Structure 1
Amino acid sequence: MPTTSVQLYSLRDAIAEDLDTAIARVREIGYENVEPYAFVERVDDLERALQANGLTAPSGHVAVIDAEDTAPIWDAAKRLGIETVIDPFIPTDRWQTADDVKKIADRVNELTAEAAGHGLKFGYHNHQWEFTNKVDGRTVYDHFVAQLHPETVLEVDTFWATVGGADAPAVLRSLGDRVVAIHVKDGKVDGDILTALPSAESALIVPEALQRAFENQKPAGQGDVDVAGILAAAPQAIRVVEFDAYAGDVFEGITESLQWLRENDTAGGAA
C-alpha cells in the first residue's frame, strides 16, 4: 500500500526557526514519513529529530547532478535511512536541445550506477519546463526518460507536470513502476504560473509573479489538479505532500492534505 510522506521543504521557514519543533509537529499531525531536502548540511540535526519522533525518510532531495563530490550525499542518505535519493532541479535553460537532454540523462545514468553501489536508488524530480520545452515535437521529459537506464527511478511532481500541459495520470500510467514517488499538491494551473520561471541559479529565487502563483497552491482536492486520477494512476508510488509556498498556516495545509488523502486515496490510503 502506498506510503504517505511530506516534503520538509514545505516547512522550510519553521525548520529554519526550530528544526526539532517543526519535525515534532509533523509527527503530531499524523505523518509517519518525511522527505528531507538539502539533507547533507543538516544530517546530524535531522537524524536526531527523526529518531526522536519515530519518523522515517524513504526518499530525500539533494542536488546530486552538479555535485563534484557525491560521497557525502550517499553517506548522509544511509545515515538517515533514505532509500531513494532524488535530484530536485535542473533549470529550464539546460533543457533546450537534444544535446542538453542527453548530457543530463548520461549524468543521471552514471549517478544511478554510483548510488546502486551504495545500496541506494537515484532519480529525478520534474518541474513544468520539462513538459513545456519540446524537441522535435516531443517534450524534453519524454526524450529524457527514453535515455535513462531501467534502474533509474522517477519522482513525478504531478502539479508541475499539469502546469506544463501534461495529462499527469496518463504520464504516470506510461511510466509505470519507474515512478517511486509523486508530489501531491493542488492549486491554480493557469495564469502567471504557466510562464513564470525561477532563477536559472536556484529554484529558491523566484519572480514576484511566480511567488504569487505559489501562494495560490491549495491542499489536495481543493484546486484544479486531478489528484484522485493521479493517485489511481500510480498506486505503487509514495505520496509526498508538498507546498512550494502557502498563503495560510502551512501546518494546517499539510494537515488538510493528509486528511483528504485518508478519505480519498482509494488506491491504498495514507499511513
Structure 2
Amino acid sequence: MFHHVKAVMILSVVAVFAACSSGSFDSQKSTQTAVPPISVQLWSVKDFIKSDFKGTLKAIASMGFEGVEFAGEYGPYKHDPVGLKAYLTSIDLKVSGIHVGLGQLRWKNLDKTIDFAKKLGAKMIIIPAATEAWTGEGIDRLIEELTQLTMSLGKHGLVLGYHNHKQEFEDYKDSTFGIT
C-alpha cells in the first residue's frame, strides 16, 4: 500500500510558501525569507487517509516530509485537535494548514473552527472552493465575505487562503473572476 502512497505524494508535494509569511513555522533569523517545510496536501492521499489515517501519516513522515495540510479528514482526532497535534509531534510532523468549507467559517461555526485550528497549531485556514467565485452574481459578495473573514482570522493570528480552480480563471468583465 505505501508504495502507492509514495508515488502519489511524489506527484503532489506542496510547498506551503504562504505559511512562511504567516510565521507559522520556526525559522532562523536572516535577511532572507525562510522556506517553510515541504508538506503534503492530504487531499492527494485522501483514500489512504480514510482507510489508514495513522499509517498514512507515519508513511509521510518516514519519507522525510515535514508537514501536512489537512483536507477535512482528521481520523480518530475529528474532535480532538490537541490529541492530533500530540500525535503529529510524536511522528515529527507539523501542520501546514487546514482546508475547511466556507460554511465552517460562517456564523456560529467560525469560533469553533478558530478554536480547532489554534489547538492543532494551524496558522493557515484554506477554503477549498466556493461556487460563489464562479458567477458574476456571487463574486462580489464572496470578495466582501473573504475580506471580513481575513480580518476576523487575523485577530487570532490566523491567515486565510483560497484554493483556486480553473473556474476562477474563466472570462469575466474583460478579465477573470480571480482578478475582479
TM norm. shorter chain > 0.5: yes
Q: Give the secondary-structure state (helix, strand or coil) at the position aligned to 2:98.
A: strand
Q: 1:33 aligns with which of 53, 59, 67?
A: 67
Aligned to 1:95: 134
- Residue 179 of structure 2 is aligned with which of 126, 129, 142? 142
| Cα contact 1:131–1:139 (8 A) shared by 2 | yes
Alpha-carbon distance between aligned partners in 1 of 2:86 and 2:52, rounded to the nearest angstrom? 13
Stretches of structure 1 that go unaligned for 5 or more consecutive residues are 144-271
Q: Give the Cα–Cα distance (whole angstroms) in 2 for the partners of residues 14 and 39 of structure 1.
A: 11
Is the Cα–Cα contact under 8 Å of residues 65 and 107 in structure 1 kept in the other structure?
A: no
Which residue is 1:83 aligned to?
123
Matched, 1:42 2:73: no
Percent identity, please.
28
What is the aligned counterpart of 2:114 among 74, 83, 100?
Answer: 74
State the partner residue of 1:8.
Answer: 42
- TM-score of the two chains, using structure 1 as the length reference: 0.48
Alignment of 1:158-177 (within 5 A): none
CA contact (8 A) 1:14 1:22 kept: yes
Q: CA deviation at 1:96?
A: 1.8
C-alpha deviation, 1:2, in angstroms: 2.4
Per the TM alignment, residue 39 of structure 1 is displaced from its structure 2 partner at its CA by 5.6
Paired residues of 1:39 and 1:46 also in contact (CA < 8 A): no
Aligned length: 140
Q: Deviations over 1:229-262 (max 9, x none)?
A: xxxxxxxxxxxxxxxxxxxxxxxxxxxxxxxxxx
For the 8 Å contact 1:33–1:56, the answer to whether it is kept is: yes
Q: How far did residue 83 of structure 1 move?
A: 0.8
Looking at structure 2, the residues matched to 88 and 12 of structure 1 have their Cα atoms a distance apart, in angstroms, of 14
Work out the CA distance in 1 between the residues paired with 2:88 and 2:40: 13
Q: Does the 8 Å CA contact 1:39/1:61 hold for their aligned counterparts?
A: no
**Match of 2:178, as an amino acid?**
Y
Per-residue deviation at 1:24?
A: 0.5
Give the drift of 1:46. 3.2
Contact residue 63 and residue 89 of structure 1 kept, 8 A:
yes
The structure with the greater share of residues assigned to helix is 2
1:189-241 C-alpha deviation (Å, 9 max, x unpaired): xxxxxxxxxxxxxxxxxxxxxxxxxxxxxxxxxxxxxxxxxxxxxxxxxxxxx
Distance in 1 between residues matched to 2:56 and 2:65, nearest whole Å: 12
CA contact (8 A) 1:86 1:122 kept: yes
CA distance in 2 between counterparts of 1:84 and 1:101 reads: 22
Q: Which runs of 4+ in 1 moved over 4 A?
A: none
Amino acid at match of 1:115: L
| Structure-2 residue corresponding to 1:19 | 53
Larger relative contact order (C-alpha < 8 A, sep ≥ 6)?
1
SS at 2:40 equivalent: strand
| Partner SS state of residue 57, structure 1 | strand
CA contact (8 A) 1:108 1:123 kept: no
Q: What TM-score does the superposition give when structure 2 sets the normalisation length?
A: 0.70
**How far is the alpha carbon of 1:118 from its aligned partner?**
1.4
Deviation of the 1:52 alpha carbon? 1.9
Residue 102 of structure 1: how far off its partner (Å) = 0.8
RMSD: 2.0
Mapping of residues 128-139 of structure 1, within 5 Å: 128-132=166-170, 134-139=171-176
Q: Tell me the residue number matched to 1:114.
A: 152
In structure 2, the residue matched to 1:267 is: none
